[in-house]
Structure 1
């Protein structure tokens, strides 16, 4: 169901070609992985320019509850390793943060307390059962009363032996990342053999392996099998890249409205799936130029229809779907059935909301079919999903009168999004 808010956001419409420079905050995916590895390290780690958002703060809160601590230092955060903190039960607040729900239960198994995990109603509907089964197979005591979902309790017994385990990670690559991130702290490390369909978002798996190496682990991969030996982690400091998925609406804005958008700090080499936007925009006839200062997108305002398999970059789907509503012909997005288990059922939400404003959008088995049509003003429901706020902002560039429900939900990854977006469009006014 749509969320509710008393104050929808009147997203701005571009009156001409855009000309703006923007900077987006640190990557959520990298920030929360770095926080977990820092908490498992033998010495403090200074994480430079991490994301400061609801999800990142929930991760810091979880690590604090589990025996760590975090000290903010200007734009940086010093993470202290997890230390024993007694045996009294504690609770971890998950909010609707998938990384917190999936990355921290194994950490609770390393301690000696009962830890209750629970959060927003939406997190209780997001898939996690395969991860809980794998942790149980590795010897972690978990009481979920058969739900395979929050709320659940992890009862720590002072460590996890580790070893070999099979895992179905087809619903989320985060299940695999959760085991790999914690694996160096298991007595015997961990060997994960994937079963079932391939996990979505291969770049996020590569991101996990890259971060493990940076912190001193030696992960190995052979086909569907991953191995991380037990080791002592350590990294004095780590700098977080800008979030390229959060940069997506700004990148496509130039294609929708025309003009030039410069995104500062876009890395020249990265494992982030959002980097795929450069090739997409080029394929769609826009110009994307990367140099040491960032990425410059020069758009034409003309967008061809396309057939896109977004299995590896599914989180970009809301913004890309909004972009394709302005194409000169039909488009198909495929490979993203797993989005039905994200912050909301993103496929159903996009089909409903885009169609309500006039576009011809229908769900397919694993994606969306988009037939552009004249669109009109109206209220765009966001279902407590930050990426839907961003998709609505893209639509409003060409459609006057788009009201965006509950814009504050974008605080999950970019609390300053609406102000930055207004400034981008305002520079054109």
Structure 2
């Protein structure tokens, strides 16, 4: 099966020479899956340009359609390759919501379903049924929602409105719990006054900043009185036409390819300023010895990011608590560095699509790298690497980490490259084009 299938064995290609390619990256999943719910709750139709179309974003589209929103392409009917979309809110109703493995769907849509008239049933892939969910469901119960279940599958019985008000939650496991409530909170009768009460800070802070910025763009009054509390006032959500940035996290495997092969990769349309956590890859690659330049014309809001790999990657000690999604890419780079690296602040990755810390330790270990799991991260000690099967665990970022290692280690066999369709359909074609300079 190809990239659009759920399972596909893939022999990771070895780079015969330093890569030299331009890579155009589709729209941001994080921005897309925030813009869609905001548009579905808005006071009129919205247009989204450059929308990512992937499994996760299509699941979000399907979820919002099932609870009453209309989503159309330029010609009216929605086609799989339409990236310019019009979202027209409708009366919210109950429906069947398929979450797949999309954390944003299982955490962002239940608050919308609580505003609907009628019951909404949520379910997803088998692996999704073990992902943390009670945090957001218990918070919704405290705000007045009726919910049957603690994790997938569960049912939200909407009554057409939600009281809202003050609520405490422990969001130590995922920033999505916070974003999920904030995105819908303006539609609650009393808005929301949300307080994080966990012993650990909320991880992936930049994702919450992204949510806050998009709410403000939509005319919502939102405050952050303390680093661990947020307040959203009740009121309308304005319809906003948005042009979505390329997905910077999805760009990172291609930039890593330049770093590990000593080559050059150019990514156009890189934003000059952004709320995307993936932008942190620039400083990480510099710390590992790569040349990183954002070529941008005076007055422009985006340019071309150029990464040139070093002759040898430097080891690093990094706190990735704010950018945990980059861990698989960075771990693959560390396995090819000139000494031991330490990645910390990422205990929450044990609750992602898979236990990413255990998965990285297992797969990097299988190709010969020394890896020790820490309480909150990984210690990675490079060693001569060998080809071996590489399990993706149905996790798109594990699959692309295997592709990075495979550039310089013959015989890396990724068992499920099709899972990259979760956020980046066509990954193998883009990878092959990069290696031949056709990107």
TM-score interval for Structure 1 and Structure 2 normalised by the shorter chain:
over 0.9
Which residue of structure 2 aligns with residue 13 of structure 1?
14
Instruction: Quote the offset at 1:84 in angstroms.
Output: 4.1
Do the aligned partners of residues 100 and 84 (structure 1) sit closer, same or farther apart at CA in structure 2, a change above 3 Å counting? closer
**2-side partners of 1:5 and 1:71: how far apart?**
26
Contact 2:217 2:240 in 1 (8 A): no
Equivalent residue of 1:100, what SS? helix
Q: Of 414, 417, 433, which aligns to 1:423? A: 433
Distance of aligned partners of 1:5 and 1:209 in 2 relative to their CA distance in 1, 3 Å threshold: closer
Tell me the residue number matched to 1:219: 222
Aligned partners of 1:102 and 1:131 also within 8 Å: yes
Instruction: Tell me by how many angstroms 1:111 deviates.
Output: 1.0
SS of equivalent residue, structure 2 residue 273: coil
Which one of 127, 146, 160 corresponds to residue 141 of structure 1? 146
Structure 2 equivalent of residue 111 of structure 1: 116
CA distance, structure 1, for counterparts of residue 49 and residue 24 of structure 2: 16
Residue 39 of structure 2 contacts residue 240 of structure 2 at CA under 8 Å; is this kept in 1? no
Q: 1:120 aligns with which of 125, 135, 139?
A: 125
How far apart are the structure 2 equivalents of 1:405 and 1:386? 12
Residues 358 and 376, structure 1, Cα contact 8 Å, conserved in 2:
yes
Alpha-carbon offset, residue 35 of structure 1: 0.1
CA offsets 1:276-303 (integer angstroms, 9 cap, x no match): 0111111222111113322100111411
Task: Give the TM-score normalised by structure 1.
Answer: 0.95
CA distance in structure 2 between the partners assigned to 1:108 and 1:7 by the alignment: 34
Alignment-derived partner of residue 238 in structure 2: 234
Root-mean-square deviation over aligned CA pairs: 1.5
1:162 aligns with 2:164: yes
Q: 1: distance between equivalents of 2:19 and 2:100? A: 36
User: d(CA) in 2 for partners of 1:329 and 1:291?
Assistant: 31
2-structure distance, mates of 1:382, 1:103: 25
1:131 aligned to which of 132, 136, 142: 136
**In structure 1, what is the equivalent of residue 371 of structure 2?**
361
Residue among 75, 79, 86 paired with 1:78 = 86
- Unaligned ranges ≥5, structure 2: 75-81, 297-302
The secondary structure found in structure 2 opposite 1:104 is helix
Matched position secondary structure for 1:133: helix
- Find the aligned partners of 1:44 and 1:423 in 2 and give their Cα distance: 38
Mark the CA change 1:405 to 1:5 in structure 2 (over 3 Å): closer, same or farther: farther
Paired position in structure 2 for 1:31: 32
2:23 is the counterpart of 1:22: yes
> Which is further off, 73-82 or 115-124?
73-82
Kindly state the Cα deviation for residue 251 of structure 1 after the two structures are TM-superposed.
1.2
In structure 1, runs of 5+ residues without a counterpart are none
- Partner in structure 2 of residue 245 of structure 1: 249
Query: How much does 1:236 deviate?
Result: 3.8
After superposition, the C-alpha distances for 1:67-123 in whole angstroms (9 at most, x for unaligned) are 1110022430111113145xxx53111111000000000101101111111111111
